[in-house]
Amino acid sequence: MAETNFDVIILGGGASGLYCAMHAALLGRSVVVLDHSDKLARKVRVAGGGKCNFTNMTVEPQNYICSNPHFVKSALARHSQWDVISFFAEHGISYEERDHGQLFTKEGAGRLAGVLVDRCKKLGVTLMLGRTIETVDRPGPFRIHTGKEVIKGDKLVMALGGPSWPQVGASDFGFRLAKQFNLPIITPRPGLVPLVFPKNQQQMCEELAGNSLPVTLEFDGVTFTDPMLFTHKGISGPATLQISSYWRKEEQISIDFMPQQPFADLIEEHRSSNIKLKNLLGQVLPKRLVPYILSQALSEVSVSQISNQQITVAANRVHSFRFTPVSTEGYGKAEVTTGGVDTDHISSKTFEAKATPGLHVIGETLDVTGHLGGYNLQWAFSSGAACAEGLE
């Protein structure tokens, strides 16, 4: 069986793998990227509904979830959003800014993915597609057996992502390979994913499916104020996706249905009105939602007659509606995977495994999850570029 030698073997042809490959090639390394798919950057090509939210105007460590909150600081500082913006601008990618500083490509996700692939090709990166990795041998040089050939290299980079979006070929192979190298794994879970309500609240969801409204969702002291969308199963929308990355099974989430205005102020504005409370609330919230917030008796109270105690009870329901999701909608609907390779065992500067010289782990395979808003692709780029510098 044929053997080929490279300085660097990168497993995974997604955003982090390709970005690492091009930067390593720029530094004079011979690089090969192996991917099981017949098309590179498949996840990038469908990101943001094909528009690709590739970074954000403001990128801070607090935009990331990681067991070690300091881990992301070095890579984000060394290859910032401005470096990413400049790189793509040089290659004909322009952007538009949307809410919360999100930057979307004007040319589309496919064009941005094409830039990554074309740049690798022009820099001499060898791209091997349709490869199934059968075994990985160590210690160095690393030997990758694909069934078609044996690839040897002194450096091995795991850029294998996580199991979210299996419909574009994602899997948990990165975590299985990490275990082979005795790298501890923080339990993976679906992240940036819709949540499913318990059966006794499903009727509410079915009646309200398609309704979107601004809310504040809170879990364990973490809050997000954004639109929330009712689905037939539960809730989705930006606020839900954000809080889902923090949520833990069998624990409660709180919804503030009126984050823009205290309920007591709404009552005060209409203190002299004989309008029923349900009708007043139906002017600022979806009408079908009101019966699930207010009791029948409270619904019928006139605003002019409402007592302070009733105001308190209603305000608690409006601003602190509690529910316990039964589950997320799973990896098939998840944009990212939370958890992953424990960063305590990885260098934050070179992304090298501390106990296995020559082995590097980047991108989503690590226990680093960005918020919604371009942060996960930014992490792919930052970790890929920083790792490339460490491939000496």
Q: Output the pLDDT for position 345.
A: 98
What pLDDT digit, counting tens, does each position of 81-108 carry?
999 999 999 999 999 999 999 999 999 9
Q: Output the pLDDT for position 290.
A: 98
Task: Give the pLDDT band of residue 47 (cuts 50, 70, 90).
Answer: very high
Contacts of 61 (CB under 8 A, 6+ apart): 69, 70, 72, 73, 76
Q: Output the pLDDT for position 29.
A: 98
The proportion of the chain whose per-residue pLDDT surpasses 90, expressed as a percent, equals 96
Q: Output the pLDDT for position 286.
A: 97
The proportion of the chain whose per-residue pLDDT surpasses 70, expressed as a percent, equals 100
What pLDDT digit, counting tens, does each position of 137-174 carry?
987 799 999 988 999 999 999 999 999 999 988 999 99
Q: What share of the chain is helix, strand, coil (3-state, %, to 5)?
A: 35, 25, 40
Burial class (CB in 10 A: 0-12, 13-18, 19+), 216: buried
Say if residue 342's pLDDT is above 90.
yes
Q: Taking residues 285-291, report their average pLDDT.
A: 97
Cα dihedral 376, 347, 185, 43 sign: positive
Task: Give the pLDDT band of residue 1 (cuts 50, 70, 90).
Answer: confident
Q: Output the pLDDT for position 180.
A: 95
**Backbone phi and psi for residue 31, each to the nearest 5 degrees, phi listed first:** -130, 140
Q: What is the mean pLDDT of the chain?
A: 96
Pick 148 or 59 by higher pLDDT.
59
Q: Output the pLDDT for position 113.
A: 98
Task: Give the pLDDT band of residue 264 (cuts 50, 70, 90).
Answer: very high
Q: List the one residue out of 392, 389, 336 whose CA is nearest residue 74.
A: 389
d(CA 227, CA 224): 9
Q: Taking residues 322-332, report their average pLDDT.
A: 97
197 dihedral zone (left: phi>0; alpha: psi -120 to 50; beta):
beta
Domain 3-187+334-389 -> CATH class: alpha beta
Q: How many CB atoms lie within 10 A of CB 27?
A: 13
**Own/partner pairs for 88-96, CB < 8 Å, 24+ apart?**
88/54, 88/112, 88/115, 91/115, 91/118, 91/119, 95/54
What pLDDT digit, counting tens, does each position of 212-263 carry?
999 999 999 999 999 999 999 999 999 999 999 999 999 999 999 999 999 9
CB-CB contact of 32 with 151 (8 Å): yes
Q: Taking residues 34-52, report their average pLDDT.
A: 94
This prediction's pTM? 0.96
d(CA 8, CA 12): 13
CA distance between the termini of the chain: 28
**Length of the chain counted residue by residue:** 392
- Domain spans of the chain, in order of start: 3-187+334-389, 195-328
Domain 195-328 -> CATH class: mainly beta
Q: List the one residue out of 55, 57, 125, 124 whose CA is nearest residue 93.
A: 55
Task: Give the pLDDT band of residue 2 (cuts 50, 70, 90).
Answer: confident
Strand, helix or coil for residue 343: helix
CA 352 to chain centre: 23
